[in-house]
Structure 1
């Protein structure tokens, strides 16, 4: 498959993007899509072939979900509109690959009105998408302020982390895992302090099925990035203290992955003394959180919409936006090295495949995708 991709890239006549050093970056043919893309998500299947998903407004104005797989002729659509409710809005898009090499999508749907909200997951089996209703989570609450994330257990079923707005006596939303029992989702012990707000979470699962959750905890103006990992007998001990470079500052958008050794790696946005949100990365050594270099994003401008991946060698790759422009960098073992991307002008919703091999972003009226060769 990698040989096929090399032939495809060379035959397309697309040149190496200029500027700076770093690994080769080649732009792939654009996927078939209509409407202005808002979110993208990337995963690679068991053959190493990328599957791309994106959301864009449909003819009726609602946000529709689409997916395609790279083939010799370009991108082949995988189904049509994937929304469960064809008139509903798809959002909070993410993609994962299970142990069998099957690509899953997770997304939220809402009608645009209060009290109608679902979180859905679906698997591509090579011919069709599985019914999103099988693992759906539906709550009679508005979508405002809620976040959720899914990962895949070794047996190929989803694991969920959820921002629960309905915990009696809590200050605000509470981060908690959901467990699948008897065909239904059962909330488990809260991970965040119920006296504070918990939100903006992510989840990862190791090869043994152990779950790890990263989230924010605070009062919205000041907050800490925290990580808890599943322990024995239903416990979730904290891994160290706050990850923030300066605890209690404004933070946002934590992204979580596990290294090949099973140790958490987290990227997040944090306000610096100048008032700009900078992108930071730390890794868990087994006893403490260790910064991975200095802040990655540019000083004097706020970063947003971070995406995190790990190369096959276990080194982090990041993508993010600054003032509507896409940026990306990888850790070369000594420092952060910018990827030589061509300019974007109206970027939105960047994503990386988990292995760092592919990068996608909405750019104006199109989705753009690059192959990154580390």
Structure 2
């Protein structure tokens, strides 16, 4: 797709969300994005963008609006604008610009690649996930210890967020010297992952031929939330590319930050799970815009409000895109139904 500029009202683009490629190839214009849903729009000036996002917020959401308007300076820079009509014109001297991606991080690094973090610490890529910040394309790269078997293991992983691609390297979008040093160096393919004939996301290949993949089935976001809300204690569930199931141990309703109004997507329920020696929370809602989030215990903080225990999730979790509940199997030796392993 060739680079474009949004100069006139007849060039306005709106979507929920807008395609990543379209936003990446727009070199000039104003990008408005809603924080309460995936609605986005490209506009020729800041005032039109502000009018559009406020109209969307008033019609589709309750309570205070939450959104950003970003000025696309050119194909390499952007600038967040104040929500003030007197300050919606470029370029505000007191508002710093930040870098935009000019490439695709997923084309530079992939699952199984070895990377070297600052401090000469070697790690292995666990996943590369598309994300957005202020509506602009970014990526999250998760990584784990280099000796982990990605085929059969379920490693403890860490991640770097808000990454962009520039000139063949991967950089962080934020920080004082964001383009001074790459976020990590790419060392090459992990030795035990170099032969991908034994592992693929779509099928499992064995010495005896091919078998259908037993990984979680791809479903729509609403279907995944429905499955999550219907889980019962004791259910064993596989998420995304995980090879080991997590077991449901309970559930609780999550209080809303705005207690005076109902969440626009319906009630929020937290499904409690455990596995791999740690606890997990799966956050499901009634009317989703995208898939639920899965958090491990290290991702949340416990707080109290009016004597009640509450959970806050300041760190990024894992977006659930595939889910499968293991069917029970009958064990004739014990005359009982058991979880299918």
TM-score over 0.5 for the pair = no
Structure with greater strand share of residues = 1
The alignment's TM-score, normalised by the length of structure 2, stands at 0.27
Compare relative contact order (CA 8 Å, sep 6+) and give the higher one, 1 or 2.
1
The alignment's TM-score, normalised by the length of structure 1, stands at 0.26
